[in-house]
Structure formats: structure tokens, C-alpha cells
A and B are shown apart, each in its own frame.
Chain A
Amino acid sequence: MTRLQKSNTDPTALTNDEIVGTLLIESGASERLPTDERKVLSFLGLQQLSFDFMNELDFVDADTTPKKDLRAALSLKDKLVAVQSNLGNKRSRFSVLHEIAHFVLPDHRDKIFLDNDETLSWATKARLEREANQLAADLLFQGTRFASEAIQCPLSWQTVMQLAPNYGASYEAAGRRFTETHVLPCALLVYDKFTKTNDVDFEEDVYRLQYTITSDPFRKNFFRNLQATPNRFPTSELYKPKYWGETTEGKLIVNADDGSKSQFETEVFSNGYKIFQFVRQAQCK
């Protein structure tokens, strides 16, 4: 007996919220945290496969086509989601959810798996990746559940560090979600490592501003993006902890084109790869 139900609805008319809510509830993944990607895979009839893209794709020339960046792949025909075998739990979970997003988003199925025009433009590929990341984050943070929980807590990087493990998310992913969905003005500046000096003197490593995330009220009251000139900072200029892993507090002064200055409170943290500078108005704690 078929389990399909007749529907006159155009699937492209479904909203992300509808797809995320239905997927989490009907698969049983909404019952606990973190989101159990295996339940979602099972609900969709997908099989997970552990795969070493670095070593098992012997036909790909590593010199011309880097493979180390490949984290996961989805085969619609075989209903398989393959995940890089040595990924940690958090990255593996997110990669699986990312592939699930490609599987359930109607437009993605058409563009990637059905269209005869086999080569996607960079712009289309970038859009599809962005949308898949967004839906994966919605699944990971269970729709508005994370944001609802976060709003009950202080507007602080400490909240990010407290909530991230519950959702099985990296500090970076949780920090992005916390900031972009927050109803209070706040921003997150993320710096990635530009040059590494040596393994001992991490203070001399050089970082650059990689991207800025801002909440709606922050954009409304202040600005959307920040530019740094010059865009290079030694660790010691950004992050001076008493011990590694400490969150340090400080101030950030931002100059506007009109010559005015805005001062914010900051909390700075590093996971060893990136430096995160959480920015908020004074007295927002």
C-alpha cells in the first residue's frame, strides 16, 4: 500500500519553516537535543555511508582538484549520504544536514539532479550551497528553539558557549545563529588565521577579519559590515587571555564615514583556529 498522499500543493510553494518543522516532528528528531540526523535520514529513506574522500577517490588528481575540502556527498539515485570518515561529530552532523537540505529542497533536486544542463554556474552553485547551509542550520538549531532559549539568557558570548554543546553545534555556528536571530543589537566579528608563525608563539600569528554577522536591531541602529584598515592583526592585538580559552572583555571603537565614533563592549574568544569578537551595546547584559 502506498504511503504517498495526494497533494495539489506545488512543493516550491512550501516554506523553509514548514519543511524544517515537518521534518523534525515527523522524524521524531524534535524530541531531544541535539538533532539526531540519523532519525531524519531514516525518515527520508536515506542511507549514511562513511567515506574517506581523501584516499578513496583515487581517480581524482589531487594536484588539479583538491579533495581535502570534500566533507560530504549526496547521491539521489542511490539515496546515499556519504560523510568524510574522520570528521568530528559536530562537522559530520552539519554536513549530513547540509546534504539532507539538498535532498528536500525542491529547487535543488531539479537543479542538481534532474536538469539536463549539467554544469551549474558559480552563482547558482553558491546560492544552492547558501540555501543548504541555511536549512541545515535551521535543522540543527530546531527552528526558533535556539533563539527562544537564547533570549532568556544574557546577551553574552558566555550564552553561546553554554548553549552550543546542547545543540551539538560548534561555537562558530552557535555564535552566528545567536547573533543573526537576536532581537537586541549585537554583532559578531570573526577573524581567521592569515599567517601562522610557529607552534609556540601563537601571539605572533596574524589574523584577518573574515566576516561580520549583525542582528536586525544592530543593522538598524549602527551598521551592517565592518572594514578594517589594515586588515591584519597579530593575535596579541585582538586576544590577550590570562589562560588559553578564556573569554576576555574589552571595548571596540568604530569610526563612521562622517567622522563620528561608536563605542561598544566586546567579548573575545578563540578556538585556536579563529578569533570571535562578540559586540554589544553597553549595559545590554
Chain B
Amino acid sequence: MGHFGEKLRRLRGDRTQKSVAEDLNIPQTTLSSLEKQEGIPRGEILKNLADYFSVAIEYFYDAPELRSSEDAKAWLQGLRTNFESRDTVATHSNMQYDSKTLEQIAAKLREKRDKTSEK
């Protein structure tokens, strides 16, 4: 969990609490408290702080961790089954190849795969 106050303190940098508090039109004691606060404040103050320091609001929140979902799992596991597909390839290239060339590339790859597995 990120500490809100530490993130806020980092944004202030070399500027004094007094000057930042004046710019934000809040008492210096409020800014001092915010810089010691672990949780994220509610309401307008958060938006004002983000605007003042030119950061996205998300700066103050922890990024969501990776998560697995049952629907995505079902979809991805389903991809393991064989599909009817055109005999073609998707390419990682800036070029665009015609459908005949793509079909020939698919055949070449299959041929090499078969030769490799024979060895």
C-alpha cells in the first residue's frame, strides 16, 4: 500500500510547506497533516492537489494488481482446442502480403515443423 502523505511530500520537492499551502489556499497545518496521512483524503482536496502538482489523480492510488477472471480463463483454455481456420498466417511486419503469399508461408512453416519433429 502506498502512503498518501509520502507521495504528497515527494511532489512538494524543494518548495516550502508555507508557499505550497498559500498557493492552495489552505492552512499550513492542514498540508502538514496531509503529508503525515496514510490514507487518501476524500472530496475536493484530492483534485486540487492533483491539479496543483500537475499529476493524474491515479498518482495517489495504488495501481491494480494482475487478476485472473473465470471468463477469460475459459476463453483462453478453449483456444487450446483445434479450430477450423483458413490456411494463412498473421505476420509481425510492416509489410502487407497478399493472401497467396501468406498461404505459402503457412505451408513453409508447416513443412519445417514436420521436418524438425521427424529428427
Partners in one complex: yes
* A contacts, CB < 8 Å to B: 3-7, 9, 11, 14, 17-26, 30, 43-45, 47, 49, 51, 56-57, 59-60, 65-66, 69-80, 82, 95, 98-99, 102-104, 106, 108-109, 112-114, 118-120, 122, 125, 128, 132, 142-145, 147-148, 151, 183-185, 215-217, 220-221, 281, 283-284
Taking a contact as CB atoms closer than 8 A, the residue among A5, A119, A147 that contacts B99 in the complex is A119
Chain B positions within 8 Å of A95 at CB level: 92
What's the least CB distance linking B108 to chain A, in Å? 6
Taking a contact as CB atoms closer than 8 A, the residue among B70, B104, B105 that contacts A7 in the complex is B70
* B42: Cβ under 8 A from any A Cβ: no
Q: In the docked arrangement, what's the CA distance between A6 and B70, Å?
A: 10
* B101: Cβ under 8 A from any A Cβ: yes
Q: In the docked arrangement, what's the CA distance between A256 and B48, Å?
A: 26
Contact with A along B27-70 (1 / 0, CB 8 A): 00000000000000000000000000011101100111111111
On whether the beta carbons of A70 and B73 are closer than 8 Å, the reply is no
Known contacts A3-B77, A78-B109, A114-B84, then 13 further A-B pairs from the complex at CB < 8 Å, ordered by chain A residue:
A5-B70, A14-B72, A25-B68, A26-B73, A44-B80, A51-B112, A57-B104, A57-B108, A74-B89, A79-B82, A80-B110, A114-B85, A184-B55
A-B contacts at CB below 8 angstroms, number: 196
Taking a contact as CB atoms closer than 8 A, the residue among B13, B58, B75 that contacts A11 in the complex is B75
Contact with A along B77-103 (1 / 0, CB 8 A): 111111111111111111111110100
**Closest A residue by C-beta to B95:** A69
On whether the beta carbons of A30 and B92 are closer than 8 Å, the reply is no
Interchain residue pairs with CB less than 8 A apart (8): A9-B75, A19-B72, A25-B66, A44-B80, A75-B109, A104-B75, A119-B98, A217-B55
